[in-house]
Structure 1
């Protein structure tokens, strides 16, 4: 059936498949019964032996963990907030599932996020700390342990869970059933910390219902099922990391996980070859691929395994040029759009089937996800009405997966949610007549240069068109005269790293920008970057995402950008 053409920038996702009122752990007994000996989670790392756990064993151990918590910690009733601190490992996954089975609300953080940990410890009503011994001491977060009367490390909790699972009696089973009988799918399951690309931490609650259905539609959109083997290196404390882990529970597929951010930062490239070998050994069929993974695969000239059917690209918005380049080695790449506040916004367009269109996959993030509404509106008008098709505006989203508000922050909530429940993504985008969404920039990333609003992605697109540039990030830096000046950080392709000095490279790229017709705006202001830096990698946060905030801090900390004022055309 043909898709009806839209006349305004508003669309509603399919309602063909109904929402389910499940809790995050409700499907685990099914897979433990039907595929007891199948591997549920495989954990791989470059410097250690392979580890795995089956569906049956995972179900048993997490039942044991939940029973121990319910029996031994009566102060932790259903709905109690508990802080969970750790990095990717089998024990972390088992702890999360056991806590959910016990009806606890997980406040999830990464041990390295020190400022966030202080806010969590002092600003939330967390009644217990569950932590990973090695992770908490390696990152200097051991001060947290003394703040909690109830503090349990993953290793001892999992060991107690195993011992309890071996001798579960009717009394313990009834205790667990009674606890789970009061856990609703509407109950908050997890509270995520997020700063997006803006840097300021916020606390985002999500219910079992929003998590479960977002994951269901994500796997359906990518045509995944229980036969698939899914790769992720996302921190389990991060929303996308949780998705990978819960996909195994909900859909019966196998998760192949690695330590969080094994491939992020400057150590990632050397692990890229190991990653490709691991994907082949595990016969991975799909996975989450952040931009740095694609970057390293391209740099190393590697090829994905023949078993890989889809690669979900998530993180900050990706330009058409980046997608085109990535699809040369990952033809099955799919751009996936969502945020911590919304979980999912658009539906994945898989690289096969009747909707397969490489141009759409390269330039858009697809259409509205099932049961979700998306609208493009003018953020400066005050009234939220859809703009004409093809017009740039702010992307708004409404539906089951949108958060109800930031935890204990009514001011931020009012700024993020309209009175009618639309979440303001802060992204600039447009919609075509078939509902395909193109995300072009962040409102907060717009550079206010004199009288002009400059979209960093418009400059990044030009830089990425240069044959020597592999990656580019553009942002604004304060300037007394024009408000903000344009700064550009670039990573060159390996073959060009040592050919010329950073100053010579800056001049070459400035001239390239001028030649590509971004030298002057309509008002005569030049869009050519004034400040330049040539780097070997971009600073990233705990989730591996490059942040504009991180780049600005990098510059402010003494890594001064080269001032290329001499290369600017007359106009600035």
Structure 2
């Protein structure tokens, strides 16, 4: 593994030594199986090390977005009752330690020893561990000191603990962001996550000799397709920056001759549109995997041509199933329509069906909700039996809330999300269809379509649009005129706003 921003390189031997050292120290601190341990870090070596240390000890690693502020951090810790937390004093311009001190003023008020924290806002939290060489805060542990201490102690007890961990036990919690309500704590198992990664590796091994992972580790996509790769695959994993950085990503691909790049669509579009792209040699890339949202087939072909990348594919999945349900890799090079235009076919170890509102399978080519079942599916939402029951059926099917069609060979074609349907005057409109059409305009880079209340129709169509750089300005009427012969009149946005960026949920 390589952490470009830290200038750290790990072999399997050195990585195992660090994992065992920190795990041995955590064991000495009194962490028990199933204790929840929060990691509030960006893409750092300590984040990956804690993933494996927690698994060895039977802890449940709680992944928290490093951009969260006090209220969000407090919720994430208390929702699952974290006993420990690992954080960095700062993340770029974010003063994480100050945020934490505002949440836990007891750090500055108490003379307690590390491990004896008693905080009103987060009562279950006892251990605070800080990364960094020069940091010393009363009542906290130093990650560096714990590493040194663990390296000098016997690992006999660690070996015994690891042998007692049930592979079906919970190993990680990822918070899923909805558009309404508080995040839910999706809980995944050792067995489910590792075997999904193994299935990915069997499908992608010809392309994964060196994979670049610029996406954040608190996101399930990076956790499975990046962090856990080293457990099942003989490949080099590159983390180019602590936070998303287009130049750092291009530099890492150029210098390390990466063969694979994974990320959300914005990773690929930012590289494609970057003015310095041609300063870097990206031709070593033979695979590009994108998820998190559906992409336009023309955009994928453009990426293949201009990066260049030998093979771009889309995948489909969600946090609740450890990231990947389907992959376009099943389609051959000569079947670009399926490889680029569909969400792909079901991964090994999973089964998928498309159902109607009664849960009955719909005919081939008919629209319905995607349901999935298999070992990667979550245990449930931690502490939320009602929400778990709403999402998982008694027979283990995950209701995704996403609408799709399936062809005769099992390939899925995304239609939209049930909660994103706009109902205008009783007529259903799928935002993704409108978005895809708007993006065909030569001046448009990205579009988001959603509903706003309307006194007459109940809901009206609204669009936020990001224009490409250095193009003539567009007006609302320009976009509406462009859409007139491409969409039915009721699908054309009545309200259009041009923006510099979108407001999105963390995951």
The TM-score normalised by the length of structure 2 is 0.87
- Paired residues of 2:259 and 2:287 also in contact (CA < 8 A): yes
Instruction: Say yes or no: does 1:131 pair with 2:87.
Output: yes
Name the structure 2 match of 1:372: 350
Instruction: Say yes or no: does 1:533 pair with 2:497.
Output: yes
1:455 is displaced (CA, Å) by 0.2
Task: Please state whether the residue corresponding to 1:495 is helix, strand or coil.
Answer: coil
1:198 is displaced (CA, Å) by 5.8
Task: Please state whether the residue corresponding to 1:516 is helix, strand or coil.
Answer: coil
Instruction: Say yes or no: does 1:54 pair with 2:39.
Output: no
Unaligned runs of 5+ residues in structure 2 are 107-118, 120-124, 133-140
1:133 is displaced (CA, Å) by 2.1
Name the structure 2 match of 1:142: 101
Task: Please state whether the residue corresponding to 2:66 is helix, strand or coil.
Answer: coil
Please give the alpha-carbon distance, in whole angstroms, between the structure 1 residues aligned to 2:10 and 2:205: 25
1:324 is displaced (CA, Å) by 4.0
Please give the alpha-carbon distance, in whole angstroms, between the structure 1 residues aligned to 2:44 and 2:7: 11
Instruction: Say yes or no: does 1:118 pair with 2:79.
Output: no
Instruction: Say yes or no: does 1:190 pair with 2:172.
Output: yes
Task: Please state whether the residue corresponding to 2:229 is helix, strand or coil.
Answer: helix
- Relative to 1, partners in 2 of residues 1:252 and 1:158: Cα closer, same or farther, differing over 3 Å? farther
- Paired residues of 1:319 and 1:457 also in contact (CA < 8 A): no
Name the structure 2 match of 1:310: 287
Instruction: Say yes or no: does 1:201 pair with 2:183.
Output: yes
- Paired residues of 1:102 and 1:176 also in contact (CA < 8 A): yes
Deviations 1:174-201 (A, max 9, x none): 2112211211111110111111566741
Task: Please state whether the residue corresponding to 1:403 is helix, strand or coil.
Answer: coil
- Paired residues of 2:197 and 2:229 also in contact (CA < 8 A): yes
Instruction: Say yes or no: does 1:357 pair with 2:309.
Output: no
Match of 2:131 among 121, 137, 154: 154
Match of 1:474 among 449, 457, 460: 449
**Where do residues 236-255 of structure 1 align in structure 2 (5 Å cutoff)?**
236-243=217-224, 244-255=226-237
- Paired residues of 1:66 and 1:101 also in contact (CA < 8 A): yes
Name the structure 1 match of 2:213: 232
Name the structure 2 match of 1:222: 204
**Where do residues 285-364 of structure 1 align in structure 2 (5 Å cutoff)?**
285-300=259-274, 302=277, 305-329=282-306, 330-350=309-329, 354=332, 356-364=334-342
- Paired residues of 1:92 and 1:154 also in contact (CA < 8 A): no
Match of 2:148 among 146, 156, 163: 163
Match of 2:483 among 504, 513, 518: 513
1:286 is displaced (CA, Å) by 0.8
- Relative to 1, partners in 2 of residues 1:110 and 1:141: Cα closer, same or farther, differing over 3 Å? farther
1:230 is displaced (CA, Å) by 1.0
Task: Please state whether the residue corresponding to 2:261 is helix, strand or coil.
Answer: strand
Count how many residue pairs are aligned between Structure 1 and Structure 2: 471
Instruction: Say yes or no: does 1:494 pair with 2:472.
Output: no
- Paired residues of 2:332 and 2:339 also in contact (CA < 8 A): no
1:261 is displaced (CA, Å) by 4.1
- Relative to 1, partners in 2 of residues 1:321 and 1:261: Cα closer, same or farther, differing over 3 Å? farther
Name the structure 2 match of 1:15: none
**Where do residues 57-136 of structure 1 align in structure 2 (5 Å cutoff)?**
57-71=14-28, 73-74=29-30, 76-114=31-69, 115-135=71-91
Deviations 1:284-319 (A, max 9, x none): 111212111221122237366221111110112334
Task: Please state whether the residue corresponding to 1:230 is helix, strand or coil.
Answer: strand
Instruction: Say yes or no: does 1:398 pair with 2:373.
Output: yes
- Relative to 1, partners in 2 of residues 1:173 and 1:300: Cα closer, same or farther, differing over 3 Å? closer
Task: Please state whether the residue corresponding to 1:113 is helix, strand or coil.
Answer: coil
Please give the alpha-carbon distance, in whole angstroms, between the structure 1 residues aligned to 2:99 and 2:127: 20
Name the structure 1 match of 2:2: 42
Please give the alpha-carbon distance, in whole angstroms, between the structure 2 residues aligned to 1:282 and 1:196: 37
Task: Please state whether the residue corresponding to 2:90 is helix, strand or coil.
Answer: helix
Please give the alpha-carbon distance, in whole angstroms, between the structure 2 residues aligned to 1:83 and 1:162: 18
Unaligned runs of 5+ residues in structure 1 are 1-40, 264-271, 520-525, 544-572
**Where do residues 397-416 of structure 1 align in structure 2 (5 Å cutoff)?**
397-416=372-391
- Relative to 1, partners in 2 of residues 1:347 and 1:401: Cα closer, same or farther, differing over 3 Å? same
Please give the alpha-carbon distance, in whole angstroms, between the structure 2 residues aligned to 1:320 and 1:401: 28
Name the structure 2 match of 1:425: 400
Name the structure 2 match of 1:560: none
Please give the alpha-carbon distance, in whole angstroms, between the structure 1 residues aligned to 2:297 and 2:430: 15
Please give the alpha-carbon distance, in whole angstroms, between the structure 1 residues aligned to 2:46 and 2:427: 52
1:326 is displaced (CA, Å) by 3.5
Instruction: Say yes or no: does 1:175 pair with 2:157.
Output: yes
Q: What is the root-mean-square deviation of aligned Cα atoms in Å?
A: 2.4
Task: Please state whether the residue corresponding to 2:401 is helix, strand or coil.
Answer: strand
Please give the alpha-carbon distance, in whole angstroms, between the structure 2 residues aligned to 1:327 and 1:441: 25
Please give the alpha-carbon distance, in whole angstroms, between the structure 1 residues aligned to 2:51 and 2:325: 27
Name the structure 2 match of 1:28: none
Please give the alpha-carbon distance, in whole angstroms, between the structure 1 residues aligned to 2:267 and 2:126: 41
Please give the alpha-carbon distance, in whole angstroms, between the structure 1 residues aligned to 2:214 and 2:478: 37
- Relative to 1, partners in 2 of residues 1:435 and 1:310: Cα closer, same or farther, differing over 3 Å? same
